[in-house]
Amino acid sequence: MDAILGSLIILVMSLAVEAEMKNGFYSTSCPKAEAIVRSTVESHFKTDPTIAAGLLRLQFHDCFVQGCDGSILITGSSAERNAAANIGLRGFEVIDDAKSQIEAICPGIVSCADIVVFAARDAVVLNDGPGWAVAAGRRDGRISLSSEASSLPAPLDSVSVQRQKFAAKGLDDHDLVTLVGAHTIGQTDCRFFSYRLYNFTSSGQPDPTINAAFLPQLQALCPKNGDGLKKVALDKDSPAKFDVSFFKNVRDGNGVLESDQRLWEDPATQTEVKNYAGTFRGFLGYRFEFEFPKAMNKLSSIEVKAGTAGEIRKVCSKFN
């Protein structure tokens, strides 16, 4: 009951804020803002294509703590980005680059929070994913605490825990599975899943849900007592393309993170995975392309500061 009430409160607050946000929010005050973010993301992507997944993850981690308010961008020993759950976050330099260019022509107009959301959308497009209109008008928050990052989903989370964390933000099972689909272009470190390969639940054996043909491939990538920081693609088949193969991997026991593979064990989330994985590749692929933008817009509306709340930072990494 508390979770339902919390979700309703978030929904009401989100609807009130959305009334102050709109597509083309900067069309008059800073008409080049979105184009500058897009060209900046493209520039960094040409040098390092893996930055796209980093920018997408950055929005997710920002919105799940204090809402979509740029709190993840603040530096400092007790700031959000220093939390254990945010280890390995990337893309800060892209946001800073875009912000400095925008400040040069439109000082004090465009929030860092909006830049994060624009950049995530542009990153998906660069990986052959869908584009979508982003309602803007978010303002930057004045709080960033690493102690609040416990609300973020984690690689070891069961589906019930993932469900609770998403529901607390007004997101349902459909949103959960759809947003986790972002892992189609993601990477992770060996240290976050190697326990599944050698000593699952302290059994001295691998996780039995890992496909028998996939296990030796993962063990070769992440040898026992090997480099825990080595990067591994979360989608073994098309890691640079935004598509539905991630869901096919989960269906077939080829999920890398435990939290991803568990989606196949819960009846409700399994149904969602099946709907995306399917057999009619083209049709269902387009369905994911249709659903993902809707889920991202829902995510980007979480606990947004608008109107006179918060501030418009001059530099994204520090409060004014």
Question: Which sequence positions are flagged as catalytic?
Answer: 61
Give the span between the Cα atoms of 306 and 162, in whole angstroms.
28
Asked if residue 80 belongs to a known ligand binding site, the reply is yes
Give the span between the Cα atoms of 166 and 85, in whole angstroms.
16
Asked if residue 62 belongs to a known ligand binding site, the reply is yes
Asked if residue 259 belongs to a known ligand binding site, the reply is no
Give the span between the Cα atoms of 76 and 164, in whole angstroms.
29
DSSP 151: G
Asked if residue 184 belongs to a known ligand binding site, the reply is yes
Residue 175 identity: D
DSSP 144: -
Asked if residue 183 belongs to a known ligand binding site, the reply is yes
Asked if residue 71 belongs to a known ligand binding site, the reply is yes
Contact between 136 and 157 under an 8 Å Cβ cutoff? The reply is: no
Asked if residue 250 belongs to a known ligand binding site, the reply is no
CA 68 and chain centroid, separation: 12
E strand residue ranges, the chain = 22-23, 135-136, 187-189, 231-233
How far from 90 is each of 1, 94, 96, 190, CA to CA, in Å? 37, 9, 12, 17
Asked if residue 153 belongs to a known ligand binding site, the reply is yes
CA angle centred on 63, ends 162 and 235, rounded to 5°: 55
Contact between 206 and 215 under an 8 Å Cβ cutoff? The reply is: yes
Asked if residue 65 belongs to a known ligand binding site, the reply is yes
Asked if residue 260 belongs to a known ligand binding site, the reply is no
Going by the annotation, the residues of the binding site for substrate are 153
Going by the annotation, the residues of the binding site are 62, 65, 67, 69, 71, 80, 153, 183-184, 235, 243
Going by the annotation, the residues of the binding site for Ca(2+) are 62, 65, 67, 69, 71, 80, 184, 235, 243
Going by the annotation, the residues of the binding site for heme b are 183
